[in-house]
């Protein structure tokens, strides 16, 4: 196999949603029988593609027209090699094609491939004038987003919010930290930390040395916490002694923060979506010596094995969703999410919210949150739930676009279960 074949194998796994981009370039890549130099070369190729995939496709289809999807992906990776990987030449990529295990790839006109790569190596293809007034097409090419997603966002939120959110999502993700609630008197000042305005206790780490070398981090006085997840905890506002249920994948630090804010007094049940989430939670429990978190592997339908109906003060539901608000951190979403999977996601979200509501006691709070920019998964889900459950009412809901605070995008709704005065009911 050539370096082009190895790159294609990894990219296909990312594109088919078998693993994330981060896992692919940091863990999965280690399974390849390659030298350190070769591994770094493949990694550089994938990094060149992940935020530019649709733009590189546009450039190549501009030269080739419609060709088989798999072959187009090979050509995209080849273009990434010659444009973004130092010391890899056009001739090297042509040799990769000649020696490739993909027989169809070898059928390409190699002289044409060479000419195309040579012309594109140092010159990006300008957006054609015919697309200048086509918002979706232009933004899709410019920021390498699927065109259908741009159209949907524009329909829901208008051109300004769509453009600013997409542009923002292509910037680097900051490192967000928070203070361990057990160290509430601690104040983060100085040049290493910058306050995040949207949260009460969130900071961006801006130090010049790696965070792992920071004394406060080593002493567990601060820890990494996504700003939007911290905001959810603050809005949920858990109290000492509360009975809480959290439903969501890979939320061990969010659950830990809830328990720590309750000063480890009460109960926090965590429905872990899979074994990885479960073991991650167990690790956090041991690390922060938390006693109140009770993790179990399963979804909301198994919550009844740990909590009784109408017994909980607060329930936080983060169901499987499109995660469009997370593209800043998970760029592969723009590549591997399939539009036709939205309907099944939305139906599942309705079921999650309905099932979770059974555990809320009178005057309790049900929080629904999705890190996405899609009205059908956010506002519409909550509206339908309220229509079907008149004993609940929305206290607060908010959609946060990625550009607003240089964070990820998030929608959340605080839904309170009504209490009724028995005397009024009798009257």
Backbone angles phi, psi at 294, to 5 degrees: -120, 95
Distance CA 395, CA 398 (A): 11
The fraction of the chain above a pLDDT of 90, given in percent, is: 84
pLDDT per position as a tens digit, 157-176: 999 999 999 999 888 888 99
Please tell me whether residues 212 and 336 are part of one structural domain. no
Instruction: Provide the β-strand partners of residue 175.
Output: 205
Please tell me whether residues 201 and 234 are part of one structural domain. no
159 is in which domain, residue-wise? 130-169
Please tell me whether residues 11 and 114 are part of one structural domain. yes
Instruction: Place 225 in a pLDDT band, splitting at 50, 70 and 90.
Output: very high
Residues 6+ apart with CB under 8 A from 30: 39
- How many independent structural domains does the chain possess? 4
Instruction: Place 219 in a pLDDT band, splitting at 50, 70 and 90.
Output: very high
For the segment 145-152, the average pLDDT, to the nearest whole number, is 95
pLDDT at 30 > cutoff 80? yes
**Of 160, 191, 225, which residue is a domain's last?**
225
Please tell me whether residues 275 and 371 are part of one structural domain. yes
Q: What is the pTM of this model?
A: 0.92
Please tell me whether residues 80 and 164 are part of one structural domain. no
Residues 6+ apart with CB under 8 A from 364: 312, 313, 314, 315, 416, 417
Please tell me whether residues 270 and 366 are part of one structural domain. yes
Distance CA 25, CA 44 (A): 9
Please tell me whether residues 219 and 238 are part of one structural domain. no
Please tell me whether residues 284 and 353 are part of one structural domain. yes
pLDDT per position as a tens digit, 359-388: 999 999 999 999 999 999 999 999 999 999
Q: What is the pLDDT of residue 410?
A: 96
Q: What is the pLDDT of residue 255?
A: 97
Q: What is the mean pLDDT of the chain?
A: 93
**Of 126, 143, 160, which residue is a domain's last?**
126
For the segment 387-394, the average pLDDT, to the nearest whole number, is 97
Please tell me whether residues 202 and 163 are part of one structural domain. no
Please tell me whether residues 103 and 17 are part of one structural domain. yes
The answer to whether 306 and 294 have CB atoms below 8 angstroms apart is yes
Listed ranges 75-84, 186-195, 296-305; the one with the highest mean pLDDT: 75-84
Distance CA 85, CA 9 (A): 18
Which CATH number covers residue 320? 3.40.50.150
Please tell me whether residues 66 and 198 are part of one structural domain. no
Please tell me whether residues 194 and 238 are part of one structural domain. no
pLDDT per position as a tens digit, 66-121: 889 999 999 999 999 999 999 999 999 999 999 999 999 999 999 999 999 999 99
pLDDT at 313 > cutoff 80? yes
The answer to whether 141 and 127 have CB atoms below 8 angstroms apart is yes
Gyration radius of the chain's alpha carbons: 24
For the segment 293-312, the average pLDDT, to the nearest whole number, is 92
């Amino acid at each position: 196999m050539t370096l082009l074949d190895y790159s294609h194998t990894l990219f296909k796994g990312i594109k088919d949603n078998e693993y994330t981009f981060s896992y692919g370039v940091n863990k999965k890549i280690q399974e390849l029988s390659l030298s350190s130099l070769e591994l770094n070369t493949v990694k550089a190729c994938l990094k060149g593609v992940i935020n530019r995939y649709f733009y590189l496709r546009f450039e190549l289809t501009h030269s080739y027209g419609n060709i088989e999807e798999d072959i187009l992906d090979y050509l995209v990776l080849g273009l990434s090699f010659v444009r973004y990987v130092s010391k890899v030449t056009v001739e090297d990529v042509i040799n990769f094609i000649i020696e490739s295990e993909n027989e169809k790839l070898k059928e390409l006109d190699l002289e044409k491939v060479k000419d195309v790569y040579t012309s594109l190596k140092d010159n990006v293809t300008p957006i054609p004038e015919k697309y200048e007034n086509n918002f979706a097409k232009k933004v899709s090419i410019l920021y390498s987003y699927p065109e259908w997603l741009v159209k949907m966002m524009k329909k829901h939120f208008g051109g300004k919010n769509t453009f600013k959110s997409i542009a923002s999502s292509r910037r680097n993700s900051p490192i967000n930290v928070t203070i361990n609630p057990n160290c509430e008197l601690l104040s983060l000042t100085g040049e290493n930390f910058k306050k995040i305005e949207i949260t009460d206790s969130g900071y961006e780490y801006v130090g010049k040395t790696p965070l792992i070398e920071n004394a406060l981090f080593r002493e567990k006085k601060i820890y990494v916490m996504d700003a939007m997840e911290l905001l959810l905890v603050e809005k949920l506002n858990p109290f000492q002694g509360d009975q809480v249920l959290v439903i969501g994948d890979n939320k061990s630090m969010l659950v830990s923060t809830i328990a720590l804010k309750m000063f480890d007094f009460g109960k926090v049940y965590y429905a872990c979506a899979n074994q990885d989430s479960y073991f991650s939670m167990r690790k956090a429990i041991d690390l922060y010596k938390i006693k109140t978190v009770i993790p179990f592997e399963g979804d909301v339908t198994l919550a009844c094995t740990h909590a009784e109906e109408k017994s909980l003060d607060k329930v936080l539901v983060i169901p499987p969703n499109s995660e469009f608000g997370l593209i800043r951190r998970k760029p592969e979403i723009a590549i591997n999410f399939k539009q036709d999977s939205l309907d099944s996601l939305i139906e599942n979200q309705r079921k999650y919210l309905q099932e979770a509501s059974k555990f809320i006691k009178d005057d309790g709070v049900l929080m629904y949150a999705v890190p996405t920019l899609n009205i059908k998964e956010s506002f519409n889900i909550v509206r339908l739930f309220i229509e079907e459950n008149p004993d609940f009412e929305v206290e607060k809901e908010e959609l946060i676009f990625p550009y607003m605070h240089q964070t990820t995008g998030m929608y959340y709704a605080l839904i309170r279960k009504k209490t009724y005065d028995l005397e009024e009911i009798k009257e």
